Structure 1
Amino acid sequence: MTSITPLTGKALLTRLKELGNASRSETAKACGYYSITKTGRERINFTAFYEALLASKGVAFDEAAPRKGRHPSYTVRVQSNGNLLIGSAYTKQLNLQVGDEFEIKLGRRQIRLVPVNGGDDDSEE
């Protein structure tokens, strides 16, 4: 896919004023927000165009924020089949890897997972 250098900042805003009442597709293309596919078709990149337009007008987005998934609620429910599922948000937060093993320690109405390698961390109880 071939891409063209798109306009940003003041240059983008100036070009938009020059274009007046052009269609959205024509406007995005005239500002460089399109690419040519391998088959020779033009593809308008509306998302990049609108993001650049907002940035040009001083609207900033937090790029570090996750775009998908749920945030951990730190509560879980026993499922109808008796399973207790701990989601990936928690395993990622603890930097757990595939194959990590834990010993299950039962207390009075509590369950503790203790790493088999002996790294018992009582600092967050």
Structure 2
Amino acid sequence: MATKKKIEPLTGDALLAKVKELDTYTKEEKARECGYYTVTKNGVERVNMMKFYNALIEAEGVELDSNTSAQGRGGRAATYRISVQSNGNLLIGSAYTKKMSLQPGDEFEISLGRKHIHLKQVGADDEE
């Protein structure tokens, strides 16, 4: 069995070009040809599909990771829906306050409609 020299995994435009060049290959063969495999102690070749897919996504310029805080805590995404708590309060979560760059102490005017509540930041310029 001939030993194939392991190549450095391709990234960026080189990866995209190689994948297009190998359009008739299976996805495993494409990953292997682009350098996304390891050889075990027993000489068994293992294709690392996850690293290959991640490299393809990055090469395409798709940003999957959100801008998380310095502690690396992402939290839940804003759903733009809240529920009245058992004590009758409405709690607006940090996802909304961060998105609006609000700081502790920022004030709002509350206006009530028939089926809605509007919050208008005191001192903010009208954007609408």
Q: TM-score, normalised by structure 2?
A: 0.46
Tell me which of the two structures has the higher relative contact order, counting C-alpha pairs closer than 8 angstroms and 6 or more residues apart. 1
**Length-normalised TM-score, structure 1:** 0.47
